[in-house]
Amino acid sequence: QMEQLGKYGFLRRDYLKNHRNSTYQVMLLQDTIGEHLLEVDKAAREREEVILKQLEEKEPLPDKEVDQMAWVRAANQHRAIAEEIILKELIYV
């Protein structure tokens, strides 16, 4: 299962190991950690898509053909905002 794990699953695992070790150990012993991490990773990726769509509706990205650097800056800013929300809502809880 760990091969299928993405960025958010690994972040969640590291958080549990370092800040909620007893929960992590219980899940490890019950063999539910892999399933939990996959669920969190999937939920985080789905939430990221929703947030990015909402951000783009609220603040549309500039035309990529006209100003590629402005487009990259705006896209990176949207992604950073989405990631911050996901970390607070799903990973560090």
Full-model pTM: 0.89
Instruction: List the end-to-end C-alpha distance of the chain, in Å, as a whole number.
Output: 22
Q: What is the pLDDT of residue 31?
A: 96
pLDDT tens, residue order, the chain (93 aa): 678 899 999 999 999 999 999 999 999 999 999 999 999 999 999 999 999 999 999 999 999 999 999 999 999 999 999 999 999 999 999
Domain ranges across the chain: 2-91
Question: HSE on the CB side for 42, CA within 13 Å?
Answer: 8
Q: What is the pLDDT of residue 2?
A: 72
How far is residue 74's CA from residue 13's CA, in Å, rounded to a whole number? 30
